Amino acid sequence: MNRKKKINQILKKKIKQQNAKLNKSNKPRYVSKAERAKMEAEEASQAIEQSETQSPE
C-alpha cells in the first residue's frame, strides 16, 4: 500500500509539472528597481529631445 501510494504521488507530481510548463503565466515580467530608474531616465531624455526638436527657437 505504501509503495503504491509513493509511486502514484511521484507520477502525479510529474504530470502536474508538465502541465504547469504548458500553461503560460499572465504575470508580468519582474523589473528591478534599477531597471525602472534606467527606463525612466531614458524616457525623460527622449522627452527633452523631442521638445527641443519641435521648438528650435
Q: What is the pLDDT of residue 57?
A: 54
User: Which element (helix H / strand E) includes 19?
Assistant: helix 2-22
CA 40 to chain centroid, in Å, comes to 19
**What is the per-residue pLDDT across 14-51, written as a single tens digit (0 to 9) for each?**
999 999 899 888 889 999 999 999 999 999 999 888 88
- Domain boundaries in the chain? 3-53
CA dist list (Å): 39 to 4, 32, 42:
54, 11, 5
pTM: 0.45
